[in-house]
Amino acid sequence: MKSEEEEWRKGKGSGVPETEKFTQLRRQMRQRQHVAIAEDKDRIENPNLSEEEKKRKPTMTYFNPDEHWQALEVAHNIAFGYGHLTWEWKKGIRSYLHPMVFASLYKVLALCHLDTPWFMSKAPRLLQSMFCAVGDLYLYKLSNVLFDDHVAQWALVNWFMFFCFTRTLSNSLETVLTLVGIYYWPCMRVSPNKAPLFSRKWGVAIAALACAIRPTSAIIWMYVGLLELFLAHDRLKFIFLEVAPIG
């Protein structure tokens, strides 16, 4: 997606004074934002939609610049060769795995000749809403395992999840992977012995993926891993046959 500023630069030679052109673009941006806010308000206040249906419908507004600078702009740069990169991408201190998800989506859209502004802006939100659906499923399952079905149902109407989960932030995908991973770790269950035999391997693999996408996720998994090491009866198997190969 070319930024409004790039479009403005292209229009410098159009005969319209630069200040007037810039003012027009700012006015258009404000109008689109007002429309988006109105659509989000209608979505939230619509009495015919359940809480989950409201959440699944793609969010139209933005609240954090990183929805673009740490995901979509980087993905666009990977897929098409241009897009704004902030200093941390130029210094190479962030993982490209998260933007690669959306870069792959952009490539598919381009191959299908659907790389229009409408599809390019809506498709990432739709993809993120699918990740969000997986996260909600495991939020419910994890809450049910740790507490009971009543608590699990209340967990699904968590406002913070409603507001942030569907946004194209690396934190959102990290949250999905954390929920899925913790569900499969035996040490996080009330009765660890009742966990399936393959459960811990899945948990370790998902933890490794979460750390690869967002390295600071290691803070969470370090605690979970040490707890599992303390509670497990097969510590050597856990370290050498599960953690070491996947790590």
Q: Which two tokens stand for residue 221?
A: 């998994």
Distance of CA 131 to the CA centre of its chain: 7
What confidence tens digit (pLDDT) does each residue in 39-73 have?
A: 555 555 555 555 555 554 556 677 788 888 899 99
What's the CA gap between 56 and 110, in Å, rounded?
Answer: 25
Rg of the chain taking only CA atoms, in angstroms? 22
Give strand ranges (E) for the chain.
none
Instruction: Report the pLDDT value the prediction gives residue 242, as an integer from 0 to 100.
Output: 79
Side chain identity at residue 84, one-letter code: H
Instruction: Report the pLDDT value the prediction gives residue 197, as an integer from 0 to 100.
Output: 54
What confidence tens digit (pLDDT) does each residue in 215-234 have?
A: 999 999 999 989 888 888 88
Residue with tokens 């934002």: 33
What's the CA gap between 205 and 244, in Å, rounded?
Answer: 11
Q: 62 and 86 in contact (C-beta within 8 Å)?
A: no
Q: 138 and 121 in contact (C-beta within 8 Å)?
A: no
Instruction: Report the pLDDT value the prediction gives residue 38, as an integer from 0 to 100.
Output: 53
What's the CA gap between 205 and 227, in Å, rounded?
Answer: 17
Instruction: Report the pLDDT value the prediction gives residue 28, as an integer from 0 to 100.
Output: 59
Pairs from 186-194 (Cβ < 8 Å, separation ≥ 24): 186/228, 186/231, 186/232, 187/224, 187/227, 187/228, 187/231, 187/232, 188/142, 188/145, 188/146, 188/224, 188/227, 189/145, 189/146, 190/145, 190/146, 192/231
Residue 204: count other Cβ atoms within 10 Å of its Cβ. 24
Mean pLDDT (the chain, rounded): 79
Distance of CA 78 to the CA centre of its chain: 18
Please, what's the largest Cα pairwise distance for the chain? 76
What confidence tens digit (pLDDT) does each residue in 10-32 have?
A: 544 444 444 565 466 556 555 55
Instruction: Report the pLDDT value the prediction gives residue 19, as an integer from 0 to 100.
Output: 56
Instruction: Report the pLDDT value the prediction gives residue 9, as an integer from 0 to 100.
Output: 46
What's the CA gap between 79 and 124, in Å, rounded?
Answer: 14
pLDDT at 110 over 80: yes
φ and ψ at residue 204, rounded to 5 degrees: -65, -45
- Show the CA angle centred on residue 109, arms to residues 105 and 115, nearest 5°: 120
What's the CA gap between 74 and 96, in Å, rounded?
Answer: 8
Instruction: Report the pLDDT value the prediction gives residue 180, as an integer from 0 to 100.
Output: 95
Instruction: Report the pLDDT value the prediction gives residue 64, as an integer from 0 to 100.
Output: 83
* Average pLDDT value for residue range 145-171: 89
Side chain identity at residue 112, one-letter code: C
Q: 76 and 106 in contact (C-beta within 8 Å)?
A: yes
* DSSP 8-state secondary structure symbol assigned to residue 213: H
